[in-house]
């Protein structure tokens, strides 16, 4: 079994916060891939389904962000899931909005959710870093992450969540580079076809 975890804070007041983009991403995975309904287990909400030929458990810890590791450890212990079969989706200040990077191992970079996971299960899990951008001043970070996405941001957030859900099987199969690349292609601005425009202009001149 594979464990896919979205990080966030419970409650409707936090639902659209930038800090909750991990929750949003796994909700879209559950929806698009017809997982079963969420149930309360392991200090969180869990849903089960199939992806990449594997049984997958999606978990949204309900412990608040800074205790996320407790829920993950409980699920891993019950199902005997190895750290390398755990995939954590979370917000990332150091990436521009709409960018996604996969990282395996390494430090937690001060992220409270990751800090808790490191403390409970170690660092040998995969994390999907979902860019939310940096406010530019460290004193504004808390206000930035705990505020809802703006109306302008919501335009790309929906596309990004859909792209992550569409390509998640690549991630679970270990194809990190293809997963990242396909999302980047989905999020790239449409290219203006200058050749077509030139051809049309020439046609009009005839």
pLDDT at 194: 55
Calpha distance 100→68 (Å, rounded): 21
Instruction: Give pairs for 79-83: CB < 8 Å, separation 24+.
Output: 79/1, 79/3, 81/1, 81/2, 81/3, 83/121, 83/122, 83/123, 83/124, 83/125
> pTM of the entire structure?
0.90
* Per-residue pLDDT tens listing for the chain (206 residues): 999 999 999 999 999 999 999 999 999 999 999 999 999 999 999 999 999 889 999 999 999 999 999 999 999 999 999 999 999 999 999 999 999 999 998 888 788 899 999 999 999 999 999 999 999 998 999 999 999 999 999 999 999 999 999 999 999 999 999 999 999 999 998 776 655 555 555 555 54
* Exposed/middle/buried for residue 153 (C-beta within 10 Å: 0-12, 13-18, 19+): middle
Active-site residue 19, yes or no? Answer: yes
pLDDT at 190: 77
Q: Tokens standing for 6?
A: 């979205």
- Kindly list the structural domains of the chain, giving each domain's residue range(s) and its CATH number in brackets, ordered by start: 2-205 (3.40.50.1470)
Q: Could you tell me the CA-to-CA distances from 7 to 111, 116, 124, 180 in Å, in that order?
A: 11, 11, 17, 19
70 φ/ψ sector (left φ>0, alpha ψ -120 to 50, else beta): alpha
């Amino acid at each position: 079994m594979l464990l896919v975890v979205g990080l966030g804070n419970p409650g409707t007041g936090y639902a659209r916060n930038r800090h909750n983009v991990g929750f949003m991403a796994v909700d879209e995975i559950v929806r698009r891939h017809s997982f079963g309904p969420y149930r309360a287990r392991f200090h969180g909400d869990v849903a089960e389904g199939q992806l990449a030929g594997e049984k997958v458990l999606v978990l949204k810890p309900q412990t608040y962000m800074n205790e996320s590791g407790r829920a993950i450890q409980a699920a891993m212990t019950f199902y005997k899931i190895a750290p390398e079969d755990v995939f954590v989706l979370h917000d990332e200040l150091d990436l521009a909005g709409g960018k996604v990077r996969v990282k395996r191992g390494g430090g937690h970079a001060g992220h409270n959710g990751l800090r808790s996971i490191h403390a409970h299960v170690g660092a040998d899990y995969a994390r999907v870093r979902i860019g939310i951008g940096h406010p530019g001043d460290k004193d504004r970070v808390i206000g930035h992450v705990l505020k809802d996405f703006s109306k302008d941001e919501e335009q790309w957030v929906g596309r990004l969540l859909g792209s992550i859900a569409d390509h998640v099987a690549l991630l679970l199969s270990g194809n990190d580079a293809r997963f990242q690349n396909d999302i980047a292609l989905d999020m790239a601005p449409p290219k203006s076809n200058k050749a077509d425009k030139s051809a049309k202009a020439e046609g009009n001149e005839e």
